[in-house]
């Protein structure tokens, strides 16, 4: 599977760019051969991805708060929406149908890519000045 990461996603904030790369690595691990995995294996992979996203969002929100980013609350609401939606989809997966895994996987990829390109770039200049290694 070709890597999803592209330099187009780079915010030039090393700590965030590294976390975004790590997300894509985990996502690729989750996606590789998912059709042949058991429900339990899929649940564990979704859990790993969700845990990493929660960690990443906390780190990103911390940097936004420290930088005084004026759209912090709106950005945080986007993160909350995403985590809540993943939880809803996990419940569907748990109780209804393990075939919903692909629906979850596609949603995560589309949302995260769109979020980086359209929302994370909005805070780039604010956070770059306070982030270790930022430009």
- Provide the residue ranges of all domains of the chain, joining segments of one domain with +: 37-128
How far is residue 116's CA from residue 41's CA, in Å, rounded to a whole number?
28
Q: Which residues contact 119 (CB under 8 A, 6 or more apart)?
A: 75, 78
Number of H helices, E strands in the chain: 5, 0
Residue of 80, 107, 110 lying closest to 92 (CA atoms) = 107
Given pLDDT bands bounded at 50, 70 and 90, which one contains residue 67?
very high
Given pLDDT bands bounded at 50, 70 and 90, which one contains residue 79?
very high
Mean pLDDT of 94-108: 72
pLDDT above 60 (res 134): no
Share of the chain above pLDDT 90, in %: 33
Q: What residue has token string 């330099």?
A: 7
């Amino acid at each position: 599977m070709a890597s999803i990461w592209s330099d187009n996603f780079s915010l030039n904030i090393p700590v965030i760019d590294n976390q975004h790369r790590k997300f894509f690595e985990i996502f690729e691990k989750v996606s590789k051969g998912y059709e042949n995995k058991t429900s339990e294996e899929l649940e564990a992979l979704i859990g790993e991805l969700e845990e990493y996203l929660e960690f990443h969002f906390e780190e990103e929100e911390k940097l936004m708060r420290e930088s005084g980013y004026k759209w912090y609350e709106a950005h945080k609401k986007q993160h909350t929406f995403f985590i809540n939606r993943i939880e809803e989809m996990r419940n569907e997966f748990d109780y209804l149908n393990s075939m919903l895994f692909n629906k979850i996987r596609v949603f995560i990829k589309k949302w995260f890519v769109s979020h980086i390109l359209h929302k994370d770039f909005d805070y780039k200049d604010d956070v770059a000045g306070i982030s270790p290694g930022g430009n």
